[in-house]
Structure 1
């Protein structure tokens, strides 16, 4: 009788083979334009511990999307030091696998518990949804809510992560929110920035802080209509490519979002919620929201680097882990 590991290996191979075949077939593309994509929602099924009883006023954004895939017991055995929330899309199989095998590996640090989760919405293609379901059954690191997965719904995806932490992992100490094309220097993040041996911070938020204003050019990817955001400046916000915050902030942002008008630029929206909460994000030069040429010494000093392919992810990780003895 084949072992459980062998069966999982065969299932993994079949899943990736199906993904490669599927992605090689020419398919019509789907684009989402305008403001927030408004998904057609069924009456949600209420789940245990998914509401907060102390919210008494009527919500602007009830965020009543049901979980299509959930890992509700991920934090039951032991509260993690760090939860990693990675915004991803259905077709990014290779990126997710690269992260699992490199910096997102939950077993890397023996003295610090890390939980890694990939966040998705619902795809309009049933085949892609099914493939993600199969992937979830193998790795148990995917959470999906019942809203349309699109660029203009990235805010909903981030709020989903905040809601998940507040509901299923409230005793975690810190949260990293990032994207699937980001390389994270985990040793620098955990031991130099967060420091497990020190007292956990509260109301803490850090990343690459941006001070800017809305772009009114409709041709821009970051276009913000005046009627949606009339102010001339945004509050300080951290680039959505990667930011870190104490776990108490997850619930605070989620509750604040219920009464704050949604914006399709998720990092700006989080900044708006932080302003309402009176939390000022701290600037940290280790968070880079751009591509940076690789060198061992340079990458030892960073926390995040943007626009890293799955192949580069493996190459950088292998180099950094095999040359720990070298000094800069």
Structure 2
């Protein structure tokens, strides 16, 4: 009996040990599972969002902004830069960090306005519209234009309008500042593409589509970089000349026989995949070119089958070539200038455009021209 009792107690002790081991194992398993779950949540929560440095924003990329309008174009056409396949991935060393660059299907209708002035042209009925692509942070450049040539609403009896186009600002505070600037001046447009040098072609095509869909009543338009000075009197005299066409017309500083840059260390590099020809067709320097306002819709339409590349003025030239339209030589080509040293050593009264080295110099040029009157 004593031996049987001892055996029974031993069995009970073994059972308790086994239960304890099982409980310990279960607790350990649950603890490890919780730790693994917490670590996964931590990694997913704090892993930074990486914005790919793409030349052209993916169509399905979304943003947390409230859209003002449904889209840039009311037309239901599809603009495929890449026919087969619609998305092509190539590798370029144009960027210093040698990253892959994805070239996506891109068309103005893929982008939406965050800030818009859709009724400006119907209210003002402008003869000439200036469209100024500018970076969101370049407030000084916008204010310099607003205080000089962009402040004019009528030239030689013709209504003129100046608008600025920016892309995404890159932060909530910067976005709030842009919206406040828009409320103050009512001359700002913003579209939801990444604002960068490699997206200048998108910026230009958004401008073209805005003109085609928001301002078809204008007779002429001009794409003007934010560092360009405009002599409005000389420009208007050119446009009002009886010899200046009002259709299929574009002029400025003509770029002839320009080689495509294949040096992948240059910011002007364009790969053979994007543009196979060794030379560009004749195009107009992007610092400032003026065109009849029938062209924007035609350029947008022509670009359906054109691969985009980052040299925006040359890209517009390729679209014009597809349309069979050649840029016109100005009656006095010297009126469209590159750089001028200062207002004292050059006669600004004879130019239409020239590139300034700073917002301050735009103001100096303007003051010099005004003093001659």
Distance 1:48 1:124, change over 3 A: closer
Alignment of 1:152-301 (within 5 A): 152-191=198-237, 193-195=238-240, 201-211=246-256, 212-284=258-330, 285=333, 286-295=335-344, 298-301=347-350
Task: Give the match for residue 55 of structure 2.
Answer: 36
- 1:50 aligns with 73
Aligned to 1:62: 107
After superposition, the Cα gap between the structure-2 partners of 1:34 and 1:130, relative to the gap in structure 1 and judged at 3 Å, is closer
1:315 aligns to what SS in structure 2?
helix
Distance (Å, rounded) in 2 between the aligned partners of 1:45 and 1:137? 14
State the shift of 1:195 in Å.
1.1
Assess, with a 3 A threshold, how the Cα gap between structure 1 residues 196 and 80 changes in structure 2: closer, same or farther. Answer: farther
Please, what TM-score do these two structures have when normalized by structure 2?
Answer: 0.72
Contact 2:155 2:236 in 1 (8 A): no
Matching of residue 72 in structure 1 with residue 121 in structure 2: no
Structure 2 CA distance for partners of 1:226 and 1:297, relative to 1, 3 Å: closer
1:306 and 1:294 mapped to 2: Cα distance?
12
Conserved? CA contact 2:126–2:218, under 8 Å:
yes
Does structure 2 retain, via aligned residues, the 8 Å contact 1:215–1:224?
yes
Q: How does 1:289-328 map to 2 (within 5 A)?
A: 289-295=338-344, 298-324=347-373
Q: Is the 8 A contact 2:72 2:206 kept in 1?
A: no
Cα deviation, residue 310, structure 1: 1.9
Contact persistence 1:80–1:114 (CA under 8 A): yes
CA RMSD in angstroms comes to 2.4
Higher fraction of helix = 2
Task: Please say if residues 153 and 161 of structure 2, whose CA atoms lie closer than 8 Å, have aligned partners that are also in contact.
Answer: no
Are residues 209 and 170 of structure 1, via their aligned partners in 2, closer, same or farther at CA, if it must alter by over 3 Å? same
C-alpha displacement at 1:107, in angstroms? 2.6
List gaps (5 residues or longer) in structure 1. 1-31
Over 3 Å counting, the alpha-carbon distance change for 1:207 and 1:65 in structure 2 is same
How many pairs does the alignment contain?
290
Moved over 6 A (4+): 32-35, 43-46, 196-199
Aligned to 2:252, the other structure's residue is in SS state strand
* CA 1:168–1:154: 2 relative to 1, 3 Å: same
On the 8 A contact 1:41/1:65 being kept in 2, the answer is: no
Return the alpha-carbon distance in structure 2 between the equivalents of residues 45 and 128 of structure 1. Answer: 18
Task: Report the CA distance shift for 1:138/1:287 in structure 2 as closer, same or farther (over 3 A).
Answer: same
CA shift, 1:108, in A, is 4.8
* 1:181-223 Cα shifts (integer Å, max 9, x gaps): 11111110012x1017778510001011112121111111211
Asked if 2 retains the 8 angstrom alpha-carbon contact of 1:66 and 1:146, the reply is yes
Rg: which structure is higher? 2
SS in 1 for 2:135: coil
Taking the aligned partners of 1:49 and 1:293, their CA distance within structure 2 comes to 40
Which of 182, 195, 206 in structure 2 is aligned with 1:149? 195
